[in-house]
Structure 1
Amino acid sequence: MIVVDKPKYKMAIYEAKKELHIQIQGFLKAEVVEEYLNDLQETVAKVPKNTYTFVADGTYQSPVPSKISAELGQTLMFYASLGFKDIVIVNPRSKIAYVQVRNALEGVNFPGTVVDNVSQLAMR
């Protein structure tokens, strides 16, 4: 069930799978970040985090400017700090964005799983 459907991001709760998905489309400009965080907070509050998996789907994420790329690891760790049972990052299709995410994950002690596409979630 999609609970947020905005031009730059979507958020959905899949009760049967016990998953909360967020999907970034393009990249979030500074003026959208506050609205995104508010939507994220409201969506996260709708599920029991200790039994749900948080899926950050970057499939359609665009490369981010180098200034923002440096903060990408902190963003991924923020997702990890939300208190979910498990956290999964879906790599972007864009080769540049993929490398940015990979490099960001190398710089932090990320406790989750990284997959190349959403279909791999069913195989976990």
Structure 2
Amino acid sequence: MPFNVNHIHLKSSDPKKTADWFVEAFNVEIKTDNVRPVGDRFITTMTEGGLAINISSERTGETLGPADADPHYGLEHFGFDTDDMAADIARLEGLGAVLKEGPIDNGGGVTIAFVAAPGDIRIELIHRA
């Protein structure tokens, strides 16, 4: 059996706000939105490419550390392809994202950039010429 990525899980102090931002920014679709028995609001979204992005709040009695949209160890970012880097950076900034790095010529016709989405979530944009 191949090891396919099942989902990405984001923690947010306001899961609905974060999910709504991803709906507007990346055309994800909200599939479920409920409060689980462990006390967290849990929203499942799906990208057009079929990847689930789960967004939840703290569980009952759980205290989360601060988010970090800068480079760091551990799960640091995930990427979305773009057909128009400049237009998507401008569009995402209009939705509240902050350009952190780039665009950077990565060679071989690939350009990348990193933005901080609301909630200090680090996202890479990838453009292939």
TM-score bracket, shorter-length normalisation: under 0.3
TM-score by length of 2: 0.26
Pair member with larger Rg: 2
The structure with more strand, counted as a fraction of residues: 2
The structure with more helix, counted as a fraction of residues: 1
